[in-house]
Amino acid sequence: MSSNTYSGVQTPFQLFDRNEWKDLNGHFSYHLTHDDVEKLHALNEPLTISEIEEIYFPLAHLLNIFIQRTKDAHSVVNGFLKKNTQQLPFIIGIAGSVAVGKSTTARVLQKVLSMLPDKPKVDLVTTDGFLYPNSVLIERNILNRKGFPESYDTKLLLKFLAAMKSGIEEFEVPMYSHMEYDILKDRRQLVKKPDILIVEGINVLQVNSSRGNNVFVSDYFDYSIYVDADEADIMDWYVDRFESLRATSFQNSHSYFHRYANMNKEESIAMATNIWNEINRPNLHENILPTRYRADLILEKGSHHFVKQVKVRKI
């Protein structure tokens, strides 16, 4: 049952359990195949057509309300100012912990939004591409802080978002390789006049005033989403993913993590747990989790990886 209270405390969010949320699907219909689903889900992260239909279809419909409202406002303001300026991209930010599944959320949302009635062009950019190259992190002695605020080229990320909201037709952004654990030197992603831009990353809702920034990444968002779950579940997912990667991608001699390939299962679990406790857990508590309630909508997952509750900011 949706409610205005959360654990007996007033909340700025309306709460919907899964059954309530899926009933908001409305009259739009989309057709997704099992092949579509296979291309969207990530390693060790289950994804079903039911999850897409019950969670992401209603989410796409809600977002479309805001997108259409923005288009209407643009038209009215243009008329008032007697201008004929171009429509700017509607930018959606997606945040959440390492291993919580925000990348899958971003990919599914990109797919579903592209199927809206007017078939918008939807681009997806991850903030991994705005990490400093390893050479810079090593020079600054912060390679073990990768993912923390100081490891990102925030100025470049802000420059990109400002360009998108200034009507710049195209912008090249860096690309990151999880295999090489570094920025790719010879590859760029060209973002060219999207109707909708999804920006996904652990840092997109962070406010780091200590760096003297007067503008924050989230200032450019038209809507923001936080993917949430219990920390114990996220840690389990991280450890499981590490173990799966050890048996697959880490076996590649070009992988940055190839040195872990010959570990047995117990050693792999111990290493993943140590990385979580030494790096990912502090980053979650210091920099990621505090941004949760800055989002417009929170997708709360259960231990099975599927969304069990949706929190929508009241307006």
Instruction: Please classify residue 215 by burial: count the beta carbons closer than 10 Å to its beta carbon, then call 0-12 exposed, 13-18 middle and 19+ buried.
Output: exposed
Say if CB 100 and CB 42 are below 8 A apart.
Answer: no
Residue 246 to residue 238: CA distance in whole angstroms: 12
The tally of CA atoms less than 13 A away on the side-chain side of residue 35 is 0
Report the SS3 class of residue 204: coil
For 274-289, the DSSP string reads HHIIIIIHHHIIIIIG
Say if CB 47 and CB 104 are below 8 A apart.
Answer: yes
Say if CB 96 and CB 205 are below 8 A apart.
Answer: no
* Known binding-site positions for ATP: 96-103
Residue 251 to residue 270: CA distance in whole angstroms: 18
* Known binding-site positions: 96-103
Two tokens, residue 313: 């900011």
